[in-house]
Amino acid sequence: MGKHGFRERTRHKEFDMRALLMSSVIGAMTLTAGIAQAEPTTREEVKVPFAFTVNGTEMPAGTYTVRQDEDQPHALLIQGSSNKAAIFVLTAPVDGVQTPQDTSMVFAKDGNSYKLTQVWGQDGEGVSIVGTR
């Protein structure tokens, strides 16, 4: 049983190592898939040529990425692409549907300043910013 017993144990260890490696790879793939799903699912870019406010937060002119999370459909992250400005806002659906086009933002002019009041997506559906003062 000397040489054959050693070969059997070696094969058994090789099989165990392969199984361990395969389960590690599958676990890593599952973890990566879970992380990818946690990212916002809708991401659209909007260029704003003037400074504006969102719920009292000053945002400079620039290009902004608007993101909606699938798990939080009533929340948007508005983040500057060329600057570090960012804000997370709650939203409410707007009645009506516009013709699908590029993503757009609607502002209310207040003296010399602008306040973000709505965001419309490429799908033609809009949301109102909750708490707009």
Q: Tell whether the model's pLDDT for residue 14 goes beyond 90.
A: no
Band the pLDDT of 33: cuts 50, 70, 90.
Answer: very low
Query: Residue 6 sits in which domain range?
Result: 1-38
- If one counts the domains in the chain, the total is 2
pTM of the model: 0.63
Same domain for 64 and 30: no
Same domain for 121 and 60: yes
* pLDDT tens by residue, 37-93: 334 445 688 999 999 999 999 999 999 999 887 788 889 999 998 778 889 899 999
Same domain for 48 and 30: no
Same domain for 82 and 30: no
If one counts every other C-beta atom within 10 angstroms of the C-beta of residue 94, the result is 16
Same domain for 23 and 57: no
Same domain for 59 and 1: no
Same domain for 66 and 26: no
As a whole number of Å, the end-to-end CA separation of the chain is 85
* pLDDT tens by residue, 98-130: 665 778 899 999 899 999 999 988 777 889 999
Same domain for 117 and 93: yes
